[in-house]
Amino acid sequence: MKTMKNKRLIYSAFLSGILIAAIGCSENEQSVPLDENELIELQVSPKVTLTRSAINGGEQTGNGANVMQNIAVYAQSTTTNTDAKKNNYAIYTLGSGTWSNSGTDKIYLSSEDATVYAYYPAYTPGSNGEYATSTALKISGDASATSTIPLTVYEGGTGTDANYTIAPCGNADKIWNASPGSWADNTGANKKLIAAAPGEVDYMWATSSPTQVDNGRGTDPKGTSAALTMNHALALVSFRVYNDGTYHNAGALTGIKLENEGGNTVLSKSNGHTMKISDGTIANGTAQAATYTRKVTNYTLITVATVASATAVAAGSTANADAAAASKKLSMLVLPAASIDANQVKATFTIDAADYDVKLSAPASDHKKWEQGKNYIYTVKLSGQGLAINKVTVTDWTEQVVSGDLEIK
């Protein structure tokens, strides 16, 4: 697209105000007339409302694997912002707490209204479905409400070990206070963090405010910036595992495997699946059984003991609930499931170099589904007899706790 002679790049009203204040104006200076056809670059500010691996909730301003670092954006109009003119698509990147576009693809707005679409990831996942930042993930042609991108899930177990290794974080519901030496409610920001493998890809789509933008010069000006609210398209399955006090080994959890039972495909591979960029609708490809494999580092089961400590809760009538609350959560992103009954999916936990199996109960409070944007937290109890699931909680990431303990046997 040709660059107009009088093109100005206005990155935001805020930056413009700073520039004017810094330069100042003398009495003889005249303001520059506003040009209705002036092209102005689109600015975005994404945030994740639900909580490369699974993205944490909130405004995306920091660094790290659980903060969204890039986003693909389309601004589509009839004349100005089109694929043919190479002026409807750009990748915006987070840097120093702000979002900007330093790539060769730009979006310049005219007085013509342009509809905004955005999604994550901005790059095509690797050959094993793992997070990558090499090849842009683009739609074909102009963007519309029916446009889709391919969607994959990350099973792990092949490729680079680090990609499917989960490092726990301080997201337990209770934390240990060395002084006075007791467990207390976790009120810190870490409680909402998602501990998932770095290879996970958290597919998201955006709702934009405003839905349409322009250069601010038209008869019904919309503005040059869009606030993007990112929504999760996948479901999240999480586990917290504790020792009820009757298991007497070290309790080192080093691996989790998730697979189907009885030849079903509730836990499915991404096999021709797509996500609509306007509303996150997933169109199912051919269902194919999947097996999720995760390694885990630095996770020792909280146990029930006579005296409470940094690794144990005190015995008593609430001991199991206390141990569960003190246990950190480990998560995996999965395709949503429209119907999931008890015992259709099996989880295998490697504890002290031994494998313990437990079949998942159905999240009855959520109509036996794994829905997109929800976190299904399975509480798993290890005893001398084996594993049991004693509870399933559903929350908005959204979390959901599934009732009943999973028994390891």
| 3-class SS letters over 23-53 | HCCCCCCCCCCCCCCCCEECEEEEEECCCCE
What is the location of CATH 2.60.40.2620 in the chain?
13-145+197-232
Q: pLDDT band at 316, cuts 50/70/90?
A: very high
φ and ψ of 331, to 5 deg: -125, 155
C-alpha to C-alpha distance for 333 and 370, rounded to whole angstroms: 11
At 14 the three-state DSSP class reads: helix
Rounded to an integer, the average pLDDT of 74-98 is 93
Output the pLDDT for position 110: 96
Strand pairing of 225-232 and 43-48?
Answer: parallel
pLDDT above 90: residue 117: yes
Output the pLDDT for position 402: 53
169-178, 355-364, 398-407: least confidently modelled range: 398-407
How many CB atoms are closer than 10 A to CB 163? 23
pLDDT, tens digit, 9 for 90 and up, residues 179-223: 999 999 999 888 888 999 999 999 999 999 999 999 999 889 999
Unique residue bearing structure tokens 């290879």:
199
Q: pLDDT band at 7, cuts 50/70/90?
A: very low
Output the pLDDT for position 54: 58
Output the pLDDT for position 401: 54
Task: Print burial letters for 327-349: b (CB count within 10 Å at least 16), e (below 16).
Answer: bbbbbbbbbbbeebeeebbbbbb
Torsion of Cα atoms, 363 then 366 then 367 then 370, to 10°: -70
Options 1.10.1060.10, 3.30.230.10, 1.10.645.10, 2.60.40.2630; CATH for 235-407 is 2.60.40.2630
Is the domain spanning 13-145+197-232 CATH 3.40.50.1370? The answer is: no
Q: pLDDT band at 12, cuts 50/70/90?
A: very low
How many CB atoms are closer than 10 A to CB 317? 7
- Closest C-alpha among 82, 53, 126, 196 to residue 137: 126
Q: Which residues pair with 381 in a beta bridge?
A: 242, 407
Over pLDDT 70: what percentage of the chain? 83
8 A C-beta contact, residue 105 and residue 267 = no
What is the location of CATH 2.60.40.2630 in the chain?
235-407
pLDDT, tens digit, 9 for 90 and up, residues 258-295: 999 999 999 999 899 999 999 999 998 888 999 999 99
45-49, 50-54, 196-200, 402-406: least confidently modelled range: 50-54
Output the pLDDT for position 278: 98
Q: Which residues contact 20 (CB under 8 A, 6 or more apart)?
A: none
Q: How long is the chain?
A: 409
- Closest C-alpha among 304, 182, 299 to residue 240: 299
pLDDT above 70: residue 16: no
- Closest C-alpha among 314, 109, 329 to residue 237: 329
Rounded to an integer, the average pLDDT of 12-23 is 32
pLDDT, tens digit, 9 for 90 and up, residues 151-160: 999 999 999 9
C-alpha to C-alpha distance for 46 and 55, rounded to whole angstroms: 12
